[in-house]
């Protein structure tokens, strides 16, 4: 919540700064005494984990860029040189590649957390939409980064995805082709394409960092949501960010690093596709083009829709629909824990997303295509039909009177009267 | 005396003709908008294919070594060009198809009118029907169909098969089945002698 500043500069330099660029005051108010609901669980640590992963990607990315060469002849070899010759290059590249996977893993959990606890509902709509924007920018960034390796999967992923725009030719003849040639800087994916993808891959993470700052700003106006979805009412509902949540978030980052480390040191290529160790060949398409795992659900949606243009609309719509959730959910309360009917649809939605991931990795034929289509339908129906309708007809369970009551039981609030 | 300074005289501000100020504001905003757009254009247009890319526009290919039943692939503007010396049976199979059975009934031949129908004559080289010259890119999402190599799987219609999402092309490179919306495109080309062609 927006709150009165309690900062008092204690040293001369702090007093000097305080009337010029009051960064110590900002840190004190926003990350020191900032009131956090006392009942947030470990799902609330993923914001800190994500900030950490963004830093990991930026630091490893900048050092990789010192050795990487964005030319069609040099790109693949320079990545191999990083792996074999550059001091610690193997560690830096694997950290960046596995780091991207970890980043998405955390982002998906963070997003589902927001969905489950209704963190998109008023007054957190802008906060939620900035989050969706970050997800969108992450998808673009990772797609461009993957292309830089210039292996077979890189090349054909860029070819297939940029060709999606040619579907616009069915709306206005020539529009799609013109647009794609503008994106490519040629008549096919080639050196100009690789060069601009590198320039933009370098730029986008810094845009993400900027949006993250806005995201945290928008968070610190209403303050964090919590597992009950009940707003903070009194001071006893909260604890200061430091030391309680700096320690908790720090501990979660350490645990997350263990998982990161397991992949990084024991299975660095497990999450990738072996075909990307074959240099790009514009004359031969690999038998199966599969995107990285974090794109599979979206890829399944693209392939489930038989029409070229509508497939693209579905692919983009799968993200765009997230922007509208604050207005699609008609429920009076936030947390799914107190929503007996919606709960079932929510978990079915989680299963649906996992299933879409599986179908995205499979050839779109037979029963897999059919189920891919059913899941695609459910994905959109969940937001466009179930959310508005269930919110209206469902009778939520009784909410706890306050956050304190949910933690300490009812007895405490009646006894401690002082909060009234 | 104190009021003679016009900048502090409120009566002069009141007198000021508001429409005169509007002209200045609108004029300045319009000028800035046009200027902004004029600066934006070079920033966007720099991404279009550059002069060196455009100048790679044509290539010559010698077809003499390509026997009947064989196919070669050459590169033109970074795209693979499929050149197939079709057998009599392949030509026959393509001619037998009724136009109404084709998902895309346009020839997609840069050397003919946009409205030319997708008959085999309109797809093949002019007066040299065994020769088929086309851009070997699937019109779905741009993969390279297989079917050029002698032993490779050529799909149900004996032409080309796209491994990405299963589009099937016939021996005239026309889409017959699968998600691709259009026939494979025929680039601008011409025979410069009996056995040589110029593409582009
Ligand atoms: C949002 C943060 C970022 C994400 C999600 C991301 C994602 C990726 C991915 C998925 C790859 C391909 C990994 C592989 O298979 O090798 C990649 C490669 C690369 N990235 Fe990033 N990246 C990020 C930030 C950056 C930054 C800030 C730079 C700085 C220039 C950078 C520079 C590079 C370079 C040079 C490569 C090619 C070398 C390689 O394959 O490791 N990245 N990135
Ligand atoms: S690209 Fe050929 S079928 Fe999709």
Contact A192 B142 (CB under 8 A): no
Are B80 and B34 in a shared domain? no
- Rounded mean pLDDT of B169-194? 93
pLDDT at res. A287: 83
Lowest mean pLDDT among A109-118, B6-15, B110-119: B6-15
Between the CA of residue A14 and those of A32, A102, B189, what are the distances in Å?
16, 38, 75
Residue A101 lies in a domain: yes
Residue B41 lies in a domain: yes
Residue B13 lies in a domain: no
Residue B195 lies in a domain: yes
A199 — contact with chain B (CB < 8 Å)?
no
Residue B2 has pLDDT above 60, yes or no: no
pLDDT tier at B199 (50, 70, 90 boundaries)? very high
In chain A, pLDDT over 70 holds for what percent of residues? Answer: 97
The pTM (predicted TM-score) of the whole model is 0.90
Residue B144 lies in a domain: yes
Lowest mean pLDDT among A72-81, A270-279, A305-314: A305-314
pLDDT tier at A357 (50, 70, 90 boundaries)? very high
Which of the following is catalytic: A237, A292, A329, A394? A292
Closest by CA to A184, choosing from A170, A171, A165, is A165
pLDDT at res. A159: 95
Q: Map residue B62 onto helix, strand or coil.
A: strand
Are B59 and B40 in a shared domain? no
**Atom 18 (ligand 1) nearest CA:** A145
Are B36 and B123 in a shared domain? no
Q: Which domain holds residue B110?
A: 55-199
Average pLDDT across chain A, whole number: 94
Are B80 and B138 in a shared domain? yes
Residue B7 lies in a domain: no
Contact A285 B143 (CB under 8 A): yes
Give the mutation candidate from A187, A305, A312 for the B interface (greatest B CB count, under 10 A). Answer: A187
Average pLDDT across chain B, whole number: 89
Residue A403 has pLDDT above 50, yes or no: yes
Residue B130 lies in a domain: yes
pLDDT at res. A364: 80
Residue B3 lies in a domain: no
Residue A276 lies in a domain: yes
Residue B1 lies in a domain: no
Q: Which CATH number goes with the domain that contains B165?
A: 2.102.10.10
Are B105 and B165 in a shared domain? yes
Which of the following is catalytic: A220, A236, A273, A394? A220
**Sign of dihedral through CA atoms B167, B172, B173, B179?**
negative
Residue B6 has pLDDT above 80, yes or no: no
**B74 vs chain A: nearest CA distance in angstroms?**
9
Distance CA A391, CA B122 (A): 60
B103 — contact with chain A (CB < 8 Å)?
no
Contact B141 A164 (CB under 8 A): yes
Q: Which CATH number goes with the domain that contains A213?
A: 1.20.810.10
A163 — contact with chain B (CB < 8 Å)?
yes
pLDDT at res. B78: 85
Among all bound ligands, the one having the nearest atom to the CA of A98 is 1
Q: Which domain holds residue A131?
A: 28-280
Contact A282 B48 (CB under 8 A): no
pLDDT at res. A307: 82
Are B34 and B95 in a shared domain? no
Between the CA of residue A350 and those of A50, A109, A346, what are the distances in Å?
21, 11, 6
pLDDT tier at A216 (50, 70, 90 boundaries)? very high
**A65 vs chain B: nearest CA distance in angstroms?**
22
Residue A203 lies in a domain: yes
Q: For the beta carbon of residue A248, count every other beta carbon within 10 angstroms.
A: 19
Q: Is B164 left (phi over 0), alpha (psi -120 to 50) or beta?
A: alpha
Query: Tokens representing A62?
Result: 């900048």
pLDDT at res. A288: 85
pLDDT at res. B52: 87
**Atom 41 (ligand 1) nearest CA:** A93
- Residue B48 belongs to what H/E stretch? none
Residue B4 has pLDDT above 80, yes or no: no
pLDDT tier at B14 (50, 70, 90 boundaries)? low
Residue A215 lies in a domain: yes
Residue A391 lies in a domain: no
pLDDT at res. A309: 87
Residue B10 has pLDDT above 70, yes or no: no
pLDDT at res. A416: 43
Are B111 and B154 in a shared domain? yes
User: A12-48 in b/e burial notation, b at 16+ Cβ within 10 A?
Assistant: eebeeeeeeebebbeebbbebebbbbbbbeebbbbbb
Q: Are B80 and B135 in contact (CB under 8 A)?
A: yes
Are B62 and B42 in a shared domain? no
B30-87 pLDDT tens trace: 999 999 999 999 999 999 999 988 887 789 999 999 999 999 999 998 899 999 999 9
- Number of domains chain A contains: 1
- Residue B72 belongs to what H/E stretch? strand B71-76
Residue A367 has pLDDT above 80, yes or no: yes
- Rounded mean pLDDT of A72-100? 98
Residue A105 lies in a domain: yes
Give the mutation candidate from B75, B82, B142, B146 for the A interface (greatest A CB count, under 10 A). Answer: B142
Residue A215 has pLDDT above 80, yes or no: yes
Are B142 and B97 in a shared domain? yes
Q: Which residue has the higher pLDDT, A318 or A413?
A: A318
- Number of domains chain B contains: 2
Residue A45 lies in a domain: yes
B181 — contact with chain A (CB < 8 Å)?
yes
pLDDT at res. B112: 94
- What's A382's DSSP letter? I
**Atom 15 (ligand 1) nearest CA:** A97
Are B37 and B68 in a shared domain? no
pLDDT tier at B9 (50, 70, 90 boundaries)? low
pLDDT at res. A414: 44
Are B156 and B81 in a shared domain? yes
pLDDT at res. A418: 39
pLDDT at res. A321: 98
Contact B165 A364 (CB under 8 A): yes
Residue A334 lies in a domain: no
A181 — contact with chain B (CB < 8 Å)?
yes
Are B63 and B139 in a shared domain? yes
- Rounded mean pLDDT of A94-117? 98
In chain A, pLDDT over 90 holds for what percent of residues? Answer: 90
């Amino acid at each position: 919540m927006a709150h009165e500043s309690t900062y008092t500069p204690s040293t001369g330099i702090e007093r000097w700064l305080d009337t010029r660029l009051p960064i110590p005051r900002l840190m004190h108010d926003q990350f020191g005494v900032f009131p956090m609901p006392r009942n947030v669980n470990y799902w609330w640590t993923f914001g800190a984990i994500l900030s950490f992963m963004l830093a990991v990607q930026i630091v490893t990315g900048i050092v990789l860029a010192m050795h990487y060469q964005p030319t069609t002849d040099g790109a693949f070899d320079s990545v191999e040189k990083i792996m074999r010759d550059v001091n610690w290059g193997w560690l830096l590249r694997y950290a960046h590649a596995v780091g991207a996977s970890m980043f998405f893993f955390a982002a998906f959990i963070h997003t589902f957390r927001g969905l489950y606890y209704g963190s998109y509902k008023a007054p957190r709509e802008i906060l939620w939409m900035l989050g969706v924007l970050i997800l969108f920018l992450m998808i673009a960034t990772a797609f461009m980064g993957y292309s830089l390796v210039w292996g077979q999967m890189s090349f054909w992923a860029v070819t297939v995805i940029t060709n999606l725009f040619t579907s616009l030719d069915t709306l206005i003849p020539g529009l799609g082709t013109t647009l794609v040639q503008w994106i490519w800087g040629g008549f096919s994916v080639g050196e100009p394409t690789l060069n601009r993808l590198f320039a933009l891959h370098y730029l986008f993470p810094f845009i993400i960092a900027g949006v993250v700052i806005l995201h945290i700003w928008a968070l610190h106006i209403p303050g964090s949501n919590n597992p009950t979805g009940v707003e903070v009412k009194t001071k006893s509902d909260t604890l200061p960010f430091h030391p309680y949540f700096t320690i908790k978030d720090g501990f979660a980052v350490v645990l997350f690093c263990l998982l990161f480390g397991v992949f990084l040191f024991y299975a660095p290529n497990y999450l990738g596709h072996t075909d990307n160790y074959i240099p790009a060949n514009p004359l031969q398409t690999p038998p199966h083009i599969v995107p990285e795992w974090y794109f599979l659900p979206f890829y399944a949606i693209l392939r489930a829709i038989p029409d070229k243009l509508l497939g693209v609309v579905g692919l983009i719509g799968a993200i765009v629909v997230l922007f509208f959730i604050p207005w699609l959910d008609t429920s009076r309360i936030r947390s799914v824990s107190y929503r007996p009917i919606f709960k079932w649809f929510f978990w079915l939605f989680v299963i649906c997303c996992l299933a879409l991931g599986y179908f995205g990795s499979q050839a779109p034929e037979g029963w897999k295509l059919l189920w891919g289509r059913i899941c695609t339908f459910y994905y959109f129906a969940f937001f466009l039909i179930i959310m508005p309708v269930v919110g209206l007809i469902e009778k939520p369970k009784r909410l706890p009177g306050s956050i304190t009551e949910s933690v300490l039981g009812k007895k405490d609030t009646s006894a401690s009267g002082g909060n009234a | 005396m104190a009021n003679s300074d016009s900048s502090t005289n409120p009566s002069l501000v009141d007198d000021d003709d508001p429409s005169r100020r509007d002209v200045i504001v609108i004029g300045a905003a319009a000028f800035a908008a046009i200027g902004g757009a004029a600066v934006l254009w070079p920033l966007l247009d720099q991404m279009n294919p550059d002069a060196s890319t455009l100048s790679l526009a044509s290539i010559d290919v010698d077809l003499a070594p390509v026997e009947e039943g064989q196919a070669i692939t050459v590169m033109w503007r970074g795209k693979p060009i499929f050149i197939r010396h079709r057998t009599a049976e392949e030509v026959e199979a393509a001619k037998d198809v009724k136009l109404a059975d084709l998902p895309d009934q346009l020839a997609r031949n840069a050397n003919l009118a946009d409205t030319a129908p997708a008959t085999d004559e309109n797809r093949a080289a002019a007066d040299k029907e065994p020769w088929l010259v086309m851009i070997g890119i699937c019109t779905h999402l741009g993969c390279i169909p297989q079917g050029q190599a002698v032993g490779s799987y050529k799909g149900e219609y004996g032409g080309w098969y796209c491994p990405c999402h299963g589009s099937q092309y016939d021996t005239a490179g026309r889409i017959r089945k699968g998600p691709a919306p259009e026939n494979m495109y025929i680039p601008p080309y011409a025979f410069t002698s009996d056995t040589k062609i110029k593409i582009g």
